[in-house]
Structure 1
Amino acid sequence: MGRNRQHSTATSRELRARVIGAGPTGALAALALADAGWIVELRDRLDPSALLARERAYAISQSSRILLQQLGLWAGLRPNLSPFQRLQLEDRAAARHVLFGLDDLPAEAAAIGWILGHRPLMALLLERLSAAASVSLQLGVDGPFESPGPAPDLVLACDGPRSGLRRQARLPWWEHRYGQSCVTATVALSQGHGAPTSGCAWECFRPEGPLAVLPLERGWAQVVWSCGKERAERLTDLSPSAFLDALAAVLPGGLEPEGLRDQPRAFPVGIGLAPRLSRGRMLLVGEAAHRCHPVGGQGLNLCWRDVATIHRLAALARAGRLRAAAIPSRYALRRRLDLLLTLLSTDLLVRLFSNRQPLLLPLRRLALALLRQQSALRRLALAMMELGLPGLLPGRRDLQHHAPAHAASGPAALSAAASGHQRQRLAAGDAAGRP
């Protein structure tokens, strides 16, 4: 009886969260909390124009698509999504390749993944945040993380790999650098004889590092080229024509670069993990908690699986089925295995396939031969890539849209969060109507 009274008390008051960092992960986390019926304060030192000013693209997996649908964002992003129905995995040194297709996913899947630019993503997130009555935006604010007013029930550190909140909480951070940099550029491509048709993405393993080619709209593609730091510096200093010549030498067969949209940029790559994901009421979310090599396009999707877990837990707390104070420990428990598995698998891919060790070539040929021959292995590999750890669990490979059991989702929920009384009625009715 006492436990029931405690839960009833928890849902009779507003639940509040403070999110520090308004990039793609922090902004989506704020919308997820608002969707679950919480009052949210979102802060970032960057103003909206700075948050929008980033030239890059993201690979969007099925797990991210499901979350975006739950939050009512997918339809708004659809005009800017570039789907790909095939993924070609190549090992240049082993002279082998594997082609993944829709046959390797459940029948309802329309694409293996999607490519989405940073600017349209952030524009929609900021638009929805501005329209959400339960979200207070404090952008372009440079000051202490604490602010006046009621203390929040949760603080989400979404402030990136150099997280100030993580350092302030004295949470440990383990990191390893690969000695590589990643060069990104948006390139116009033509497809010659022997190249797969449009709607195909490439992941090429080369001795100096992986090379990804991600299809965008109207023949453009995002190139993600991992190589040594010195070479990366030289590549970014080249003239556009010289860069395209260098790129032509490493692209998959049949692809020819014809133009450059932006100046190539380079950033160092490594792997990082916070052994502890929470302290007190604070959670480490996204790159404040983990970083992985860009191989396989797992970075943002892994961050958004953090957000999906928070969305579910916040909905349970709002419905009175979980104490808000229990969310940090429950979050850390639910995310740990997926983070470890994803970081270890991306690290293994880089170490196994991007090296100059001739003794490993037979093993690499065998691995790719098995993937080509065994459709079950291809499905398992794609399930891990698309859904993370849940994709490996029996009965968890459904790609359909599933909202949290204890919260409304999408625009309806954000509209319902417009007033405190409406949020209280929804939460009370949900708690009363479920066992």
Structure 2
Amino acid sequence: MDNPDTSIILKGMENDLIIVGGGLNGPALALAAAKAGFSVTIIDTLPEDTRKERDFDGRSYALALTSMRLLRKIGVWDAIVDSAQPMLEIKVSDGRAGEGPSPWMMHFDHAEIEEGPMGYMVEDRYLRHAFLDAMADQPLITQLSGETVVGQNVTAAGVDVTLASGKHVAGRVLVGSDGRRSGTAERAGIKRTAWGYDQTAIVCAVAHAKPHNGIAHQFFMPGGPLAILPLTGNRSSIVWSETTERAAAIMAADDAGFLDALRPAFGDFLGDISLVGQRFTYPLGLSLADRFIADRIALVGDAAHGVHPIAGQGLNAGLRDVAALAQVLTEARARGEDIGGAQPLSRYQQWRRFDTATLAVATDTFNKLFSNDNPLLRTARDIGMGLINKAPALRRSFIREAAGLTGELPKLMKN
């Protein structure tokens, strides 16, 4: 309740979860937890009006099939399904900009698995708004926008969070969903293993003359991979990894100069292209928290692990964290355990840390293997892609991995 003397809000123990970070993983966890009957307060630094903006800015996400299942079960998918573009095929090739791809390639078709499309491309504006609307309709969720966490205090009974406004929020479990520079993790004394790649990702969207037919392309070049991911209509999302120096030069150009730099790598298979929305950049690196938990604290998404976008699995890994943590907490409550106790949180860490460490190693290895112009490595990887493409069992395993169907699936990600 409000305290007019001290301007402090004490939410008391009716908060089962306090979630710091209102991007994508935080709202997903809030909805999953509320669906299970937990009370949640979610705190985000951005004002509500900013988070509700509907203008297209070029940002989009590749959602694996299992991530779609999670969104469906927490009541978000129906709001975005009409704006989601199924990914029916993935084509992976190697080469140099302006020279076209190598004849050796990998081609993955969703028809080789029974479950349906491998994934979906969804624009940021639709996904964020769907989360906000779903949370607004959920009485067990309290949203605090435009608030910054400046302190956290853990006791045997719970955790108390201090906001820059002077307010306090108390609960049983604190979840950090606040990115690679997680203040939640830092305040808990959780360190990180991290390094950069001297690469920068350029993110934007383009319109093109010809239809993409639901095909995603990954073109490996010496400076880094170029992902061309299908959006609804004759549009595609671009994630272009380049050396940091060259990326800065490309971004310094006007829109016409930017497209002139992109076209040799993009090719002409989709006809003429034009820029849609804004251009963004972010530095690429690997970041892995040494622990995913502390006393009454759990980390999800980029707060726990940040990987290279080479496989498009960053958000999907975070959503798997969400599904796993929601399941662990629900099962702990059913056993009569303290949901913020050491045993439930240890089970979450055991479930997720090995998988995310494996993903980090895999993306790191792939980036080092493909982001170079070494002729011996180029020959080896091209032959390797050709062999995989000719082996149905291997091809199918890659398709299932892309769809998120491998490993121990949380219940929210099962059909």
Question: Is this a same-fold pair by TM over 0.5?
Answer: yes
Distance 1:16 1:373, change over 3 A: same
Deviation at 1:321, TM superposition (A): 5.8
Q: Distance in 1 between matches of 2:325 and 2:272?
A: 42
Is this contact kept in 1: 2:95–2:221, CA < 8 A?
yes
Other-structure match for 1:376 = 393
1:58 counterpart SS class: strand
**In the superposition, relative to structure 1, how do residues 159 and 149 fare at CA in structure 2: closer, same or farther (>3 Å)?**
closer
Deviation at 1:15, TM superposition (A): 6.6
Instruction: Give the corresponding residue for 1:65.
Output: 68
Q: CA deviation at 1:95?
A: 3.9
Q: Which has the higher helix share?
A: 1
Counterpart of 2:188?
Answer: 169
Q: Does 1:205 align with 2:205?
A: no
Paired position in structure 2 for 1:309: 324
* Cα distance, 1:399–1:152 mapped onto 2, change above 3 Å: closer
Cα distance in 2, alignment partners of residues 322 and 366 from structure 1 = 53
Of 127, 131, 150, which aligns to 2:133? Answer: 127
What does residue 380 of structure 2 align with?
Answer: 363
**TM-score computed with the length of structure 1 as normaliser:** 0.82
Identify which of 103, 111, 114 aligns with 1:103: 111
Offset from partner CA, 1:372-394 (integer Å, 9 cap, x none): 1111101111222222xx6057x
Q: Deviation string for 1:91-141 (max 9, x for gaps)?
A: 116542111102332x231x1211001111110101111111111111112
| Offset at residue 32 of structure 1 (A) | 1.1
CA deviation after TM superposition for structure 1 residue 240, in Å: 1.5
- 1:48 aligned onto 2:48: yes
Q: SS at the partner of 1:261?
A: strand
| Aligned twin of 1:138 | 144
Q: Hey, what does 1:3 align to over in structure 2?
A: none
Matched, 1:185 2:204: yes
Residue in structure 1 matched with residue 77 of structure 2 by the alignment: 74
**CA deviation digits over 1:344-379, x for unaligned, max 9?**
111111111121111212321221122111111011
Query: Could you tell me which amino acid in structure 2 is paired with residue 327 of structure 1?
Result: P
Deviation track 1:127-158 (CA, whole Å, cap 9, x = no partner) reads 11111111111111235351577842210001
1:293 aligns with 2:308: yes
1:319: how far off?
Answer: 2.4
Other-structure match for 1:19: 19
Equivalent residues of 1:66, 1:399 under 8 A apart: yes
**Are the structure 2 counterparts of residues 365 and 273 from structure 1 closer, same or farther at C-alpha, using a change threshold of 3 Å?**
same
Task: Return closer, same or farther for 1:252/1:316 CA change in 2, 3 Å cut-off.
Answer: farther
Q: Aligned equivalents of 1:372 and 1:399: distance in 2? A: 32
* Structure in which a larger fraction of residues adopt strand: 2
Question: How far apart, CA to CA, are the structure 2 residues paired with 1:399 and 1:73?
Answer: 13
Provide the residue aligned with 1:409 in structure 2: none
Question: Can you give the 5+ residue segments of structure 2 that lack an aligned partner in the other structure?
Answer: 1-12, 97-101, 152-160
Larger RCO, structures 1/2 (Cα 8 Å, 6+ apart)? 1
Identity among equivalent positions (%) equals 30
TM-score by length of 2: 0.86
Give the distance between the partners of 1:337 and 1:189, measured in 2 at CA: 41
**Matched pairs, number:** 380
Cα root mean square deviation, aligned? 2.3
Q: Which residue of 2 aligns with 1:235?
A: 250
1:256 maps to a residue whose letter is G
1:246 pairs with 2:265: no
Deviates more, 1:359-368 or 1:48-57: 48-57
Q: Is the 8 A contact 1:391 1:397 kept in 2?
A: no
Cα distance in 1, alignment partners of residues 326 and 75 from structure 2: 13
